[in-house]
Chain A
Amino acid sequence: MFTALFGSVELGLIYGIMALGVYLSFRVLNFPDLTVDGSFVTGGAVAAIMIVSGYSPILATLAAVGAGFIAGSITGTLHAKGKINPLLSGILMMIALYSINLRIMGNSPNIPLMREDTIMTMFQSFWATLPFDGLMTSLFTTLNLPFTPSTWGILLFAIMIVIVVKLFTDFFLSTEVGLAIRATGDNPRMISSLSANTDRLKILGLGISNAFVALSGAIVTQYSSFVDVNMGIGMIIIGLASVIIGEAIFGKGSIFKITIAVIVGAVIYRMVVALALRVGFLETGDMKLITAIIVIGALVVPRLLENGKERRRKYRKARKIKEQYGGEKSVAATKSDL
């Protein structure tokens, strides 16, 4: 149980990078980009094939980021230059990527990375030289806690990398170009009257968004030592779920807060799924259904709560008014008295 939750925090943080990408397209650019299902795998595929071909895992991960950027820019170009509807541009790119990903993977539907050096094992071997894990284990045993994670290295690595991506996002969105990208999603007419090329900004924004997604895919692949050509299916909904859960819990504040919210949303999503899978009658195959229900819940529940709050407020107000001014009946009574 605890081990599963611990694992879902690690994974949630890594998927948080993908969720930040989805936040950039869906929320900042106001562009429902479905490329994600494909570019997530592209990231994993590029990283995996390079690692098995003997390249450094760091280089492989950077190449994955580049590939994601290119995929996103192509979606952006289809929309901006080809005047194809945003949803359709993303779907077209998504299916095109399925074939491309297979090609990248040398036409095999999956590549295992067992016994290969990955960015994870690299960090882990550095981490092992530090006394931290031993300290934590003895701390956990003296506190008599029911479980001890085998290592904290992965968690720390995930935290570090997601924070780097978060801070990069925050910074980028505050630069002159970043402001123009935000305005492109908010009021394109205004920003093009202020000499910004919205076509180019959309292409750039979608490029960065999918670069994040591919980075996430590359790290997930190295985390699980495995890439599968189908592992991207439904990824967009997971990203969206993370964004919506984050917003539902934290509300909409500054960019700095929202990017934290999105990451926390991704972790919560993973934890909910991990818990749901513990429920007896649910199976791994039910994951997508669970995801759909989580998203629907995150969309509907806040509204229901808001409605309830509003109804109670009106009810209280009606009572107060009644106390102050008397009920409707007494008004009628005074009238008939006259």
Chain B
Amino acid sequence: MLQLSQIFKVFNEGTTDEKAALENVYLDLKDGDFVTVIGSNGAGKSTLMNLIAGNLTPDVGKILIDTKDVTRLKEHERSKLIGRVFQDPMAGTAPSMTIEENMAMAYSRTRKRSFIAKGVTKSRKMFFKEQLESLGLGLEDRLNAKVGFLSGGERQALSLLMATFTDPSILLLDEHTAALDPSRAELITDKTKEIVSKNELTTLMVTHNMQQALDLGNRLIMMDKGQIIFEAEGEEKQRLTVERLLEEFQKIQGNQLANDRAILSH
């Protein structure tokens, strides 16, 4: 489904601001995998998402989606295959356009846009309404409301719907609940769980909430300093606890610390 091999990404290479954001990352997602991604700030999680989506290109390495090499494809070319929800609720929707217009644009993601066909048609409206009803937020009665008037939670729910109702090969979620208050975040988390399992979407979800990373999905990866430092899958993941994760993290950091000391003492 999604394969990353030998991915390297350095920002500002050769300057004093040089920053190795990803180092030798391999990742292989099978059809229907739901992978949660955790890791400290600056670990390279967003960079990983941006590389998959095509906002960034890797210095070295290959990215395959559905066995197709997309490494050289631009973002707008790849996004035929990718559904995405950003952390910022403002990022995923066009505020001065209506709910139905926003949904129409998402509906066109997988196809060639027409110069003559209307974006919002009667039959599409029905479909959008049905989809919005599944959110249970009453948005189906506000098809003509400008998205700029929606709350952050409503927008994020809409973004989630827009990213998923066209059945993407890969769904990318980058801390998509982080900007919401706890009750709204929980709602979006529940919807995510529901939509992903109903449509069996292959999903990569970054979260800073360890409990959430444990509750959701069938796989978990932990990143640090541009590398994947821990992985758990299936039953092994189910047995994990937050304590175990912290322990694991400390162990690896400790090793690293020991390594650093070793290097320094030379």
B97 at the interface (CB under 8 A from A): yes
- Interface residue from B95, B106, B113, B115 paired with A187 (Cβ < 8 Å): B95
Nearest residue, chain A, Cβ from B77? A195
Contact status A190-B91, CB under 8 Å:
yes
Contact status A176-B79, CB under 8 Å:
no
- Interface residue from A176, A177, A186 paired with B95 (Cβ < 8 Å): A186
The minimal Cβ–Cβ distance linking B158 to chain A, given in whole angstroms, is 11
A175, A182, A193, A198: residue with the most chain B Cβ atoms closer than 10 Å: A193
Docked pose: A132 CA to B104 CA in angstroms:
46
Nearest residue, chain A, Cβ from B106? A194
Number of B interface residues in the complex (CB < 8 A): 34
Q: Which residues from chain A contact B117 at a C-beta distance below 8 Å?
A: 175-176
Contact status B94-A186, CB under 8 Å:
yes
Do most interface residues of chain A lie in helix, strand or loop, or is the interface mixed? helix
Interface residues of A in 165-192 (CB under 8 A from B): 172, 174-180, 182-183, 186-187, 189-192
Q: Which residues from chain A contact B106 at a C-beta distance below 8 Å?
A: 194
Contact status A174-B76, CB under 8 Å:
no
A172, A176, A182, A195: residue with the most chain B Cβ atoms closer than 10 Å: A195
B191 at the interface (CB under 8 A from A): no
Given contacts A192-B76, A194-B79, contact A176 B92 (CB under 8 A): no
Interface residues of B in 90-126 (CB under 8 A from A): 90-97, 101, 104-106, 108-110, 113-120
Number of A interface residues in the complex (CB < 8 A): 22
Contact status A195-B116, CB under 8 Å:
no
A290 at the interface (CB under 8 A from B): no
A196 at the interface (CB under 8 A from B): yes
Given contacts A177-B113, A180-B105, contact A190 B92 (CB under 8 A): yes
Q: Which residues from chain A contact B91 at a C-beta distance below 8 Å?
A: 187, 189-190
Docked pose: A187 CA to B75 CA in angstroms:
15
Q: Which residues from chain B contact A176 at a C-beta distance below 8 Å?
A: 104, 108, 113-115, 117-119
Chain A residues engaging chain B, CB cutoff 8 angstroms? 172, 174-180, 182-183, 186-187, 189-198
Q: Can you spell out 20 A-B residue pairs with CB atoms less than 8 angstroms apart?
A: A172-B115, A174-B119, A174-B120, A175-B117, A177-B114, A179-B108, A182-B96, A182-B101, A183-B105, A186-B96, A190-B92, A190-B93, A191-B105, A193-B75, A193-B92, A194-B105, A194-B106, A194-B108, A195-B109, A197-B74
8 tightest A-B contacts by CB?
A: A176-B113, A186-B94, A179-B119, A195-B79, A183-B94, A187-B94, A194-B109, A176-B114
Chain B residues engaging chain A, CB cutoff 8 angstroms? 53, 74-77, 79-80, 82, 84, 86, 90-97, 101, 104-106, 108-110, 113-120, 162
